[in-house]
Structure 1
Amino acid sequence: MNEIFFLVEDAIEGGYNARAMGESIFTQGDTLDELKTNIRDAVHCHFDEDKLPKMIRLHFVKEEVITV
């Protein structure tokens, strides 16, 4: 596997949630820097050294509600 994709969303209680696509990896962080560190740690824990993806791609999802 060359890369792994994470969907990143704002958490309701503050901070960020990240969920890997196609893998059962979920993590969160109060800041973007903390989230990135937690994602790297989670990926290293999930995969064996010889199966580690070479790249982690983050896809930020923003939701906005407007009135009609």
Structure 2
Amino acid sequence: MSEIMFLVEQAAEGGYIARALVESILTEADDIESLHQQVRDTVRCYFEE
């Protein structure tokens, strides 16, 4: 299994943004716990294509 590194930042308008460092994956959420789940879901969808 490969690893994907994400950069996590606070969004200017509130919440958090996670951006993959190598793949074109970006997601956002209101809190860190939700962001963790969003990252998992987004990665799954990205690689199903």
Q: Which amino acid aligns with 1:4?
A: I
Please give the TM-score of this superposition, normalised by the length of structure 2: 0.90
Which of the pair is proportionally richer in strand?
1
Gaps of 5+ in 1: 49-68
User: 1:25 and 1:2 mapped to 2: Cα distance?
Assistant: 15
User: How many residues in Structure 1 have an aligned counterpart in Structure 2?
Assistant: 48
SS in 2 for 1:14: coil
Give percent identity, aligned residues only. Answer: 54
Higher relative contact order (CA 8 A, sep 6+): 1
Q: Which amino acid aligns with 1:22?
A: V
Please give the TM-score of this superposition, normalised by the length of structure 1: 0.66
Which of the pair is proportionally richer in helix?
2
Over the residues paired in the alignment, what is the CA RMSD in angstroms? 1.0
User: 1:47 and 1:5 mapped to 2: Cα distance?
Assistant: 15
Runs of 4+ more than 2 Å apart: none
Gaps of 5+ in 2: none
